[in-house]
Structure 1
Amino acid sequence: MKLKILTSIFLIQFGLLTLSVKAQEAPATDSIDTFLKSKMQQRHIPALQIAVVHDGKIIKDTTFGTANLEYNIKANDQTIFSVNSITKAFTGIAVMQLAEENKLKITDPLSLYLDSLPDSWKNITLQQVLTHTSGLPDLMDAEEQIMGHNDEREAMQTVKLLPVEFKPGQKFSYNQTGYVLIGQIITKLSGMHFTRFIEERQFKVAGMNLTRFGDSYDVIPNYAGAYTLTRQMGAGFVKNSTPGHAYMQIPVFFRTAAGIQSTATDLANWIIALKSGKLLKKQSSIDLLWTPAILANGKIGGFNRLTNGYAIGWPTVTRDEHPAVGPVGGGRSALFVYLKDDLSIVVLTNLMQGNPDQFIDEIAGYYIPEMHKANGFGLPKDLKKLRAELLKQGFDKAIPVAARLKKNDPSFNPGENELNGWGYELLAQKNIKAALSVFQLNVSLFPKSANVYDSLAEVQEATDNRTEALINYRQALKIDPQNKHAAGRIQALIKQ
């Protein structure tokens, strides 16, 4: 059964040589466009904007698709998209701007700037709030709605009655409460409302002429809207095959956390302004802005294996090669700034399940070829070692090659999920024989797992090997009688 694991499962440490974008020939624009159109079709994305920055300039700026499905309005370079939690990256810069003016230190406790805080909140630092390591109770309720009926006073009164979730610095836990508090601090120290401070000090300075704050309630010219593939049914959600409307109300007091509407071009200009010293004067400020928080256990924490750390409003893609900072928003928008490569990529969509963060690295591969997944980019260390040997000796020898690697190096231990994910990546690359060999290897290594038999059967069925597919679906069902996918495919194959 295909795992519900994002393709980012692979994007962890590996040993590739960093290549400069300057050393690569400019990719054929139509190759990137073809790739993006394919992703839009696969993911049912109505509209997508991309901007690519290199050498302080925008080298690609393209828009595809439909901004408004009801009236079939085509998206263009002036179409405005909601960036959702990418807004937090703007808030991080705003805090660092105040730090450069010596109006605050990110290591200061909240109580230095805010009164009437619960005792358990007073020693939490600004840095812990900004990196989601504070332990504060979350302002969002169990149904992902803002507490207090969108009223700041009521919301804060409600959340202040809740206990802290953990000791500050112990773990990463995404939290909106802290960003509301940060908004109050920015307003107090800057002498203007935080939204105006961000507009004056970032939008205007970076030349972001189309960027603004807003939500679904506001009438926004050229707005791409918000669409979703899920709808609530009772206590759960069902996924549809076609997009429907998504409605987001983001009250003003919450707009340090979300609420910016922008274009890929404007965001690209914002990145250029930041990297060129127009937003922050000191390189040390940018370095701190992009340094992930270290937890009490000495590790970093983040959303997943791709965005695996969190800095001052900026998620980080912390890895040995081609590390990045990667703000993401609402499952629909993302931008990656590659820290060792002169490359930044912005991708905005109007589908909440578009998840462009999952394929931005592949876009980067058109500028830095070693970053293509087909070239093994992002594979865990053991899979990279295995892949190198299989390229020499043939994928059909996967089982004996893996056994030999294990014999020579007892630490060689590819994981079941890693192998399964790699198999599906090979399948997506239409390298079917290689995929089949990887799934067969997974079965040999993890013979007690129902999932590996299910996956092997799936690729066998795809290659019209129904007899073997039935055998392996039945084995999957024998190991796990609750495997609905295997049971369904058995019935379907029997009827054929």
Structure 2
Amino acid sequence: MKKVLLITFLLGFIFKSCQSKREIQSSKNLEIEEYITEMMNNHSIPGLAVAVIKDNSIIHKGFYGTKNLTTNEAISNKTVFKVFSLTKTIVATSMFKLIEEGKISLKDSLSMHFDGLPEKWQYVTIGNLLSHSSGLPDIHQLIKELEDDSIKDKEFIELLYNDEMEFATNNQWRYNQTNYILLKMLIEKISNSKFETYILNHQFKKTKSENVFFSAGSNVNIANQATYYDYKREKAVFEIKKEFSGDKNHPLAGINLTLDEYIIWNQRLDNDEHISEKTKMAMWTPFKFKESNRHFLYGWDVYTVNGFDSFGFSGGGVSGFRKFVDRNLTIIVLTTGYKNYPVQDIMIDHIAGIIDTSLFNEQTVLTEQVIGEYFLSNTTRDLKYIIEKVKQDNPKSNLEEIFKSIGYTLFFQLDRKEDAIDLFKANVTEYPKSYDTYGSLGYLYFLTEQYDLARNNYVKALELNPENSYSQRRIKEIDLILKNN
């Protein structure tokens, strides 16, 4: 009798525990749904798909909005998303498979695999390509200008041979598309197969599928493919994103897949089917730059939330993939555009905080508030008002890094250079003892060729931090430019 009672008690306890977990997860899913709806409304996101994988189980998967504003077709599990530069993480994983097989090494120089390279190119390694520390001239503008797939990759790369290196190899990080054209050439040479065939075979276990394929252009009419949009502020309308669709872009931003296909790829990564655990850890090791504190891995970026590192990347300002390895959590966010601000990374951080309280970050919530004040107001507000408003609501918060992040996004992704400079000027006024605020403003002045203003800000940054070697180098560079003008 006692055994029966004990078994009954244990079964009841297990049932209640399972029921409680289901209720908690149901509550979290509802919170995620409400949050996604809010973000889609605030930023006029046309279409979106989200997956959350926790402890190797899909705990949330959702499809929202429309894949085409003209036809109003709904986003679904059949919708194919262009993941843009998230392609690079998959290419990097393929490279580490070749490393695992002993066919190449991170330390291999380009001269070991290619003949006829300029002298300074010969010492660039595969590790430099993956970590964007090569310093090679960037081919990105040529890809836009030529739009010609009849030119072979080698001939295309040769067009850069007479260009100056952007910086000394290993010294710093700079995002560079040339690196991945060369990685494509390496994969084809070592595998003796087409780049696209190799990636699809080894990463997706298929060569032809409606659910995963290469197509770099977002204006190509393909069944079930989501349509991507740019918001034109001067016209106040969404327009279809126009991009070159040639093969040259395939290693840079060419993978298209459904959310389900992406989930399967991630499961294979978690199960060590792509590469071993040891090889993954090597891939997720920070590269040591000689003159930069930038944290970047081999083909992957690293994002830190509450002391927890997550590995991933974002693409086109619309897609994000992140693995919180220590928390056994993966979040995928795929969107088709936005009106105000690219929010895929912010959404990932916020959803992570909903799922796992140890990842809840007040800075993420504050960033959303600042973006809301800056972008979503129906009236014209100056920056001083915005800063004072947010500070009043959050008196203990430091907004310096938030405004710096928003400013760089305005400058580099949204092409709102004057707004970015104004934001950084306000940041300097608010945080006059921070050498980094002056250095950041100096950098934007430098990029817009306002060299006197750039120099003044770098000098101020150096006064606040005499050990700031970066500002020292920039001042010397500016002095040389001014001398030659």
- Report TM bin, short chain: 0.5 to 0.7
Q: Counterpart in 1 of 2:475?
A: none
Shift of 1:229: 1.0
Shift of 1:205: 7.2
Secondary structure (helix, strand or coil) at the match of 2:83 reads: strand
Cα distance change, pair 94–239 in 1 and its aligned pair in 2 (3 A): farther
8 Å contact 1:81–1:223 — kept in the other structure?
Answer: yes
Q: Counterpart in 1 of 2:288?
A: 294
Q: Counterpart in 2 of 1:194?
A: 195
- 2:313 equivalent among 317, 323, 327: 327
8 Å contact 2:52–2:330 — kept in the other structure?
Answer: yes
Q: Counterpart in 1 of 2:326?
A: 340
Q: Counterpart in 2 of 1:91?
A: 91
Structure 2, unaligned stretches of length 5 or more?
Answer: 1-20, 368-390, 406-426, 435-485
8 Å contact 1:227–1:243 — kept in the other structure?
Answer: yes
* 1:417 partner letter: E
The structure carrying a bigger helix percent of its residues is 2
Cα distance change, pair 163–78 in 1 and its aligned pair in 2 (3 A): same
> Structure 2 matches for 1:283-432, cutoff 5 A?
283-297=277-291, 299-301=292-294, 309-318=295-304, 321-351=307-337, 354-373=342-361, 375=362, 417-418=400-401
CA distance in 2, matches of 1:120, 1:23: 59
Q: Counterpart in 2 of 1:134?
A: 134
Secondary structure (helix, strand or coil) at the match of 1:365 reads: helix
Q: Counterpart in 2 of 1:12?
A: none
Q: Counterpart in 2 of 1:247?
A: 242
User: What do residues 333-355 of structure 1 show as CA deviations (whole Å, max 9, x unaligned)?
Assistant: 00110021111000001116543
- Of the structure 1 ranges 198-207 and 358-367, higher mean CA displacement relative to structure 2 is found in 198-207
Indicate whether 1:145 and 2:144 are aligned.
Answer: yes
CA distance in 1, matches of 2:117, 2:147: 17
8 Å contact 1:135–1:167 — kept in the other structure?
Answer: yes
CA distance in 1, matches of 2:402, 2:113: 50
CA distance in 2, matches of 1:167, 1:444: 34
Q: Counterpart in 2 of 1:166?
A: 167
Secondary structure (helix, strand or coil) at the match of 1:255 reads: helix
Q: Counterpart in 1 of 2:113?
A: 113
Cα distance change, pair 173–195 in 1 and its aligned pair in 2 (3 A): same
User: What do residues 377-426 of structure 1 show as CA deviations (whole Å, max 9, x unaligned)?
Assistant: 6889xxxxxxxxxxxxxx98998xx7xxxxxxxxxxx756258799xxxx
8 Å contact 2:96–2:283 — kept in the other structure?
Answer: yes
Secondary structure (helix, strand or coil) at the match of 2:256 reads: strand
CA distance in 2, matches of 1:84, 1:43: 20
8 Å contact 1:371–1:377 — kept in the other structure?
Answer: no
Q: Counterpart in 2 of 1:457?
A: none
Secondary structure (helix, strand or coil) at the match of 1:337 reads: strand
Cα distance change, pair 420–325 in 1 and its aligned pair in 2 (3 A): closer
CA distance in 2, matches of 1:169, 1:416: 32
Cα distance change, pair 289–73 in 1 and its aligned pair in 2 (3 A): same
8 Å contact 1:336–1:346 — kept in the other structure?
Answer: yes
Q: Counterpart in 2 of 1:203?
A: 204
Q: Counterpart in 2 of 1:386?
A: none
Q: Counterpart in 2 of 1:221?
A: 223
* 2:99 partner letter: A
Secondary structure (helix, strand or coil) at the match of 1:159 reads: coil
CA distance in 1, matches of 2:137, 2:202: 30
Secondary structure (helix, strand or coil) at the match of 2:183 reads: helix
Q: Identity of aligned pairs, percent? A: 27
8 Å contact 2:147–2:244 — kept in the other structure?
Answer: no
CA distance in 2, matches of 1:249, 1:397: 45
- 2:267 equivalent among 266, 272, 279: 272
CA distance in 1, matches of 2:352, 2:268: 21
Cα distance change, pair 64–310 in 1 and its aligned pair in 2 (3 A): same
Shift of 1:260: 0.5
Shift of 1:444: 11
Q: Which TM-score applies when normalising by structure 2? A: 0.68
Shift of 1:136: 0.4
Shift of 1:175: 0.2
Secondary structure (helix, strand or coil) at the match of 1:336 reads: strand
Q: Counterpart in 1 of 2:255?
A: 260
Structure 1, unaligned stretches of length 5 or more?
Answer: 1-21, 231-237, 302-308, 381-394, 403-413, 423-441, 450-496
Shift of 1:24: 11
8 Å contact 1:228–1:245 — kept in the other structure?
Answer: yes
8 Å contact 1:84–1:260 — kept in the other structure?
Answer: yes
CA distance in 2, matches of 1:146, 1:268: 35
Secondary structure (helix, strand or coil) at the match of 1:340 reads: helix
Shift of 1:448: 11
Secondary structure (helix, strand or coil) at the match of 2:238 reads: strand
CA distance in 1, matches of 2:33, 2:329: 18
Cα distance change, pair 42–190 in 1 and its aligned pair in 2 (3 A): same
CA distance in 2, matches of 1:251, 1:419: 37
Shift of 1:241: 3.7
- Of the structure 1 ranges 69-78 and 263-272, higher mean CA displacement relative to structure 2 is found in 263-272
Cα distance change, pair 111–60 in 1 and its aligned pair in 2 (3 A): same
8 Å contact 2:79–2:226 — kept in the other structure?
Answer: yes
Aligned residue pair count: 364
- Of the structure 1 ranges 166-175 and 348-357, higher mean CA displacement relative to structure 2 is found in 348-357
Shift of 1:369: 2.5
Q: Counterpart in 2 of 1:79?
A: 79
CA distance in 2, matches of 1:443, 1:135: 30
User: What do residues 164-184 of structure 1 show as CA deviations (whole Å, max 9, x unaligned)?
Assistant: 111111111000001101101
8 Å contact 1:131–1:312 — kept in the other structure?
Answer: yes
